[in-house]
Structures are given as C-alpha cells and as structure tokens.
Structure 1
C-alpha cells in the first residue's frame, strides 16, 4: 500500500516485553511488526535504546536495526535513538557506517542526550564515574559527524572510522526539551521531538527548532518529526480496554522512580483499582497522547501536524501482536483520510 495523506507516518519501537513473554519473543515480534508496517505504507522504523529495563528488549539498537533492515526492503530503519552519552562516538560511527554500507539510503542515526537508564547502569555503560557535563553531548555529536566526513573533520585526523567514511546515515537529533531543539537547528539536522515524554513543550520546541535552524550540507530547510504514544481501535471502549496495560505500566514506572517492568496483561490492568492520585498521574503521562477511536485519533494527529510536524511517528504497545498491528492499520487509514476529510482544513491551517 503506498503512503498517502498529509505527512509520512513512521514507527517507534522499544520491543516491549509482555508478562509471560521472553525478550526473544519481543525481538521476534519487532521484526514481524516491521514487515507488517512496511506493507501498510509506513516510512521509517526506529528502535529505542533502553538498559536494565525488563519491559524493553531494545538494549542494542544497532544489532536490531541490521536484522530489521535485512527483513524489509523499503522502510528506512534507525535508532530512536542511540543515547550518545553511553557510547564512544567512534564506535557509533563504525556501527552505523557498517549499517549504511550494507543498506545504502535506508539507515537513520537518531541521537539522544539522556542515558536512557538509571545512574548506576549509566556508569556501568560508560565505565566512568559522575554525570556528563552539559556541553558533552554537543561535542560528542560534532565528533561523531566528523567521522563520517571523507575529509576527516573528527578531532584526531589520525583516527579513521572504517567503514563510516562515505557511508553516512541520515543523522537526527532527538529530544524532549528546548536545548535539543536548538542544537538540532544550529547543526542543520532534522529534529525528532518526544511528545510522549513531554507533551507540554511540543509546540515551543518545534518553534525553537525552526527559529534556530541554519542550513547545512545535508539539509537546506528544517524538518521536524513528532513521536507520540498511539493506541487506535474501532470503538472508544475497545481503545480504553487495549490501553489498560500502557496506563498501568506508566503508573508503575512513575511509582518506582523510573523502573519499567514487563507490561501487564489487559485483564490485570482492568482489575487494578486506581486511586484519584493514580488517575492524576496517568492522565499527566498519557492525557495528551493519541489514544481512542478513529475520530479521536484523526483529531489528535491533525493537531500535532498543525503544530508543525513534518512527519508523525507512533509508538504503540498493546497486550498482543495482532491488536498492535491493527492499531497501526487504523492510524495509517486515518492519517491518509486527513488529506480529504473534514479535519483537512485544521491540519493545513
């Protein structure tokens, strides 16, 4: 099915692990989901980096990207993202240069400044004590970009990243705040905003990105992607039922200080008795996400497009693979309908 509608649509996947599943099950489902969404006309498929997280099997995005790129033929495949504080820029350049050489024109390298894990695990990854300084991420990003340059503009020209030279993927800056938006603009790179983490700053971040954008050799005008949680169903009641696991998982993650365990079943989520404070927490986390029937999905995606999204990326977690694929199918159909439906004027204005 060819992509249609007002903007491209894409997938963000963290290989969610459900209760009763193994990490191997989740990884196999990611490959199957990539194939299914490619058939539905999705544009790109990104894998998130998480560590020490029982509910997410995507701890090694570069490996999974290679598997998914090999199992598909048209999708752009990439990282959403590689958490640069955890890695030496040289290693990232070698990994993604290899991927770009094997799958030319199909690899994206999304870079994030957060560690994507707890402080103890971050220290184990970096093998160094203490947090990174505020200026380290921009310096790391510039160093990384230099390794892909055939003129070797990395800090030490004696160190060459093979096969990164001449095999540069499309590089993105990811973020959920204003500083990442400004960095992406100043470097002339595309920007991916995490609406699922900080919905309150979506509009200001997109504005900051466009105002700070400086054309570069790879991008002559700003290009912004917005990612959000999506759970689409034919009826509001079905969407509410299917969203139960992500609601309970979000609550438990907040209550535990950030630890994300395996996603509960729909039955377990339905049986949980939420207090008033619990509901306030869940609403703060998911209240502005794209969860509902077709009408709700179309309306909320249209608002994000109108806010300045050149592309929309969906992260969907549900209790089983079939309902997850169905949610992506409904989303694709509703975004396509935005081009001619009653909300077309809203998204174009």
Structure 2
C-alpha cells in the first residue's frame, strides 16, 4: 500500500436526533482516536448556520490541541471573507503559544468567491458559460462533469449568512492581499498605514500556512506563487481537482519553507468490515450533500434506518459526489485512495468520513489506518 501520510478532516457533524454538544465531544474523541491510530493531521472545517458544530473553528482547534499531544491540528479552512488577517494570526498564535509547532493554518476564499459571483455585471451574467467537460476517467480515477454552483451562490440563506458574519459596510478582502497580510504578521514584517505592527501572540508563531482550493483559479495561483502547500478538494469538487493541482504546480515558486510543491488531496470515505455494511452506513451521504447543495446548509446527518431513498431528481444533484466517495471494505477503500494519490501525484491524502453511527465512524478510521499501514494502527 502507498506509504504517503494519511490525515483526517473532521466536519463535526450534528447527527439526526443528537445535538451540537455531542458533536463537539465526538470531534475531540475522534481527534484522540486519530492520534492513537497514527494519522498525521486532524483538520476541522468551518461552516456556519448549518448542522455542523465546528463553526467556531479556531476555538475548537484550541480545544482539540489541548486534548491531544502529538497530532498536528488545523483549519480546513479559515474562510477569509469572514475574518481579518490580524484576528486569524492572533487566534492561531494564542493556541501555538501553548501547543507550539503543531498548528496548520489552512486558508480558503469562500467569501470572496460569492462576492465575485454576485457582483458580476448583468451582460456578463447572461453570457453563455463554457460547455462543461464530459465525464471521464484518468488511469482509473473518476472525473465527473462539474457541478454548477450558480444555484448555490444565489441562495437567499447563503446571502443572509454572509450578512450575519460581516460587519455592516465591511468589504471582503482580496484573497491574495489577505494571505500576504497573514504571512507578514507571522513573519513580523506587517505594516498598516505606514506603521509597523506586531501580533502578540502570533508573530514568529510555529504555524504552517496552507491554501485550500477547488479549481485552477486564485487559490492555486496564490499557493504556488507564495511557495505554500496546497490542498485540492476532491471531496468537494472532484471534477476540477486535477486542473487545480496542475495549476498549483505550474505556478510554484520555491520559498523559505518549501523547495518543491506539496500537494494534499481530500477524499470522502466510509470503510467497514463488509461492503454491504459500508454501503448501508454511507446510504444517507447523498441526502446530506443534497441539503448542502440546495443552499440551506448541511442538515442533521440522516439515519439510514429511517431515511427513504433519494428521488431521481435528488440523485441527479449529488451523483458526482456519491460516485466519487470511496466506500467498502478497507482494501477496497485503500485501493481507491491509492489510485487517487497516484493520479494526482499527491504527497499526502486527507480523508473525511461521516456516518450517523459515531462508533462506525471511529471503526472506519481504524480499519483504514490498519490497511494503509499507519505504524500506530498495527496490531501488537
């Protein structure tokens, strides 16, 4: 099996019939479990006004870091449209001061993407979009047709969320400028209005900066130009992962911390002792994604025992995500991940796994860790 590292991305999902407090306790427990199994990193996602308990991601990162001892902990990713660079650096600097050398500061541009989509002039909005690429396979890896974000970005709830998360009249910063400000604050070279400012804590913190992206656009370009590691989101946008990785590598300029491109690719997985069990556990994944893509935000993760099958119309909305999820026995899942790593040239993979049954979720991580050959996961 591939020797590249394996990490965990946790969405801190609230499951049907449960609550946010339980989801948060489970995130801490899963982090401890992942550390014991030998996973390299434990990243937490930022989502708001949805059945996801990691909305205050930086707070939760601090709690997870305090409950673990060696695994790297980070964000996947801080949405810079909702935070100032100073607040991000001070928050991560605070955690690093107590848990030095363990933090990954992942950055994303979600807020700016929505601003660009809604501020485009009317004539440009009416122009015909390019024809999406046809579904195809690359050396065994499924590359589906792109999913259109137009409906999601036009969601009234998404607009209301943006309003709630920003101070009235505030402008979403340019992603490139925000990243540069964060790097300057960490390096101690930040200047505002001609005045040098030092983030305390934050300056000289042992924090690794990462860029997350789903396309060949600004995120991939910034990561490459700044010589930062890049995370390509196959679990979010499987249609554009390969072009994102290629764009990052083509734009890469060696930096003080990174002499060559470093790529992590994400994947949705569910592993179980049998294929039938795994598919039953994963049977409501499509319902969950359908809620997200409707613009209403992630619903409480549905219970397979009480949830009817997707309708044909619902299935069409999430078909690309269902068919690019890696589900089955540990060997089946690991083979799929090995193909993903080989085709993308990933230096590392990060898995996200959501099931209604938390013990089954922990078991999925354990089975995969053993199959992948993580040292700590080997039986005595």
TM-score (norm 2): 0.82
1:220-258 deviation per Cα after TM superposition (whole angstroms, max 9, x unaligned)? 11111111111111221111100023222122333x334
3-state DSSP of counterpart to 1:122: helix
Report the Cα offset of residue 335 of structure 1: 2.1
Counterpart in 2 of 1:224? 263
Counterpart in 1 of 2:68? 72
1:98 aligns with 2:94: yes
Counterpart in 2 of 1:250? 289
3-state DSSP of counterpart to 2:335: helix
Distance 2:188 2:172 in 1: 29
1:208 aligns with 2:204: no
Counterpart in 1 of 2:306? 268
Report the Cα offset of residue 296 of structure 1: 2.5
Unaligned runs of 5+ in 2: 115-156, 375-380
Distance 1:28 1:318 in 2: 16
Aligned CA distance change for structure 1 residues 160 and 18 (closer, same or farther; 3 Å): same
Counterpart in 1 of 2:362? 325
Contact 1:147–1:154 at 8 Å: present in 2 too? no
Contact 1:190–1:224 at 8 Å: present in 2 too? yes
> Which stretch has the larger CA shift, 184-193 or 111-120?
111-120
Contact 2:102–2:206 at 8 Å: present in 1 too? no
1:36 aligns with 2:33: yes
Counterpart in 1 of 2:203? 165
Alignment of 1:140-151 (within 5 A): 140-151=178-189
Among 196, 216, 228, the alignment partner of 2:235 is 196
Contact 2:221–2:251 at 8 Å: present in 1 too? yes
1:4-44 deviation per Cα after TM superposition (whole angstroms, max 9, x unaligned)? 95111111111100111110110000000001111110000
1:336 aligns with 2:373: yes
Distance 2:100 2:25 in 1: 24
Unaligned runs of 5+ in 1: 338-349
3-state DSSP of counterpart to 1:30: helix
Q: What RMSD over aligned residues (CA atoms) do the two structures have, in Å?
A: 2.0
Counterpart in 1 of 2:318? 282
Counterpart in 2 of 1:125? 165
Counterpart in 2 of 1:175? 213
Aligned CA distance change for structure 1 residues 154 and 218 (closer, same or farther; 3 Å): farther
3-state DSSP of counterpart to 2:161: helix
Distance 1:291 1:130 in 2: 43
3-state DSSP of counterpart to 1:334: helix
State the aligned residue count: 328
Aligned CA distance change for structure 1 residues 154 and 316 (closer, same or farther; 3 Å): farther
3-state DSSP of counterpart to 1:10: strand
3-state DSSP of counterpart to 1:312: strand
Aligned CA distance change for structure 1 residues 151 and 279 (closer, same or farther; 3 Å): closer
Counterpart in 1 of 2:332? 296
